[in-house]
Chain A
Amino acid sequence: MFTEDSPIYQQLATQIADDVVAGTYPEDAAVPSSNEFATFLHMNPATAGKALNVLVEQGILYKKRGVGMFVSPGARSQLLKQRRTDFPQQYVRPLIREARAVGIDPVELAEMIKEEYTP
């Protein structure tokens, strides 16, 4: 479920954000509580709580006192925008690094992307 590359709370926050982007949790829908995540994923409740709080700080989730956490209106488009911003660093740079390493030039690379992109 979790890897060793980044903190567990960060990984859970990313998973929940993925689910918001995928529409699993629509806007204003409740997300599971930290105790539910902890029980379901067999993880520390404080760590699960930290993941939810990270998303609250980013404005992806909001709290209703005594009720739970909900997906903020506009959370999905906010996440999509963030991912577009992160896209070059996350995906393009590693791609180019590998292309350089094996001697694929930009023209060839563009050609490959184009080919893969057509459905």
Chain B
Amino acid sequence: MTHAIELLSATRSFRSDDAVQDVTLAVPEGAICGVLGRNGAGKTTVMSLISGQDRPTTGRVLVDGEDPFENEAVLSRISFVRDNQRYPDDYFLHHVLGIAPAFAPYWDGELAAELVERFRLPRKPAIRKFSRGQLSAVAIVLGLASRSPITLLDEPYLGLDATARGLFHDILLRDLGLYPRTLLLSTHLIDESESLFDHIVLMDRGRVVLRTEAEEARHLAMCVSGVADAVQAFAADYPVLYSHSIGGLQTSTVTGRLDDDARSRAATLGVRVKGASLQDLAVAYGSGDALQDSSKEGISA
């Protein structure tokens, strides 16, 4: 299988801090890959590395099999708009839309115009006066209308209202159907975006703690809740990723497949058990308790 994007033990250090630490991942061509993790987990840094806006301190980054850094041929195929993208102070929307095609050989002006209209982006005032949601909409216009074979969307939902989020999904999927591309999308709105993804990368504190195909993610872990003693008895058989308790009640997220054995054991102990959702997994890994257990289970990257 061709990998559109590959990171091989990539580390990016800033002075003493590793923003990204020993990250290895591969995204197949045409995949829609969700990049999840808490603030500061390293998602934006990974995207910067892939888009050649930054270089790894050690390790390698490959896009279509080549190093993207200062590589014109590869860079012309990549679109990346940061979540905190800055624009010149005197820029209006038309300036941005005017200059964008120069950086995006696959730019589609009609799609850009449609997006601007449907997101209700104003011609005035200057972009620096745009709200958070309007800035996100500008980033979506740039990201989708560029129709780049490799498209990186960094927190595209920030500040977007519910109608605009639905609109984004509509147009994204419609346009991907017409012009397939490899898409990396980072987000905190996991429940809402989960069904878009076929691949998942979950990061915490600069490391990849989980990478999986989306369908597999549903079978990796379970959430068990009930009276603390019973939950602990159930959880004793599995590596625990995360626990949360209030009074005598406890919820634990544990790795392991929710199979008939687990169900009947839960029934015997009188606890509720369900398959962990992607959001449950992100919360569990983001709690920081999980690292040592996940490596033991071999589901970390």
Contact = CB atoms under 8 A, between A and B. Distances in A.
B173 A39 contact: yes
A45 interface: yes
A35 B174 CA distance: 7
Interface residues of A, number: 19
Contacts of A1: 195
Interface of B: 30-32, 166, 169-170, 173-174, 176-177, 195-198, 214-215, 218, 274-275, 277
A56 to B, nearest CB: 18
A43 B196 CA distance: 5
Interface string A85-97: 0000000000000
Contact of B170 (A9, A33, A42, A44): A42
The 3 A-B pairs at the shortest CB distance, nearest first, are namely A35-B177, A39-B173, A43-B195
Interface in A35-59: 35-36, 38-39, 41-47
B277 A38 contact: no
Given A35-B173, A36-B177, A45-B173, 16 more contacts: A4-B275, A8-B215, A35-B177, A38-B176, A39-B173, A39-B174, A42-B169, A42-B173, A44-B197, A44-B198, A44-B214, A45-B32, A45-B176, A45-B177, A46-B32, A47-B195
Interface of A: 1-2, 4-5, 7-9, 33, 35-36, 38-39, 41-47
A27 to B, nearest CB: 27
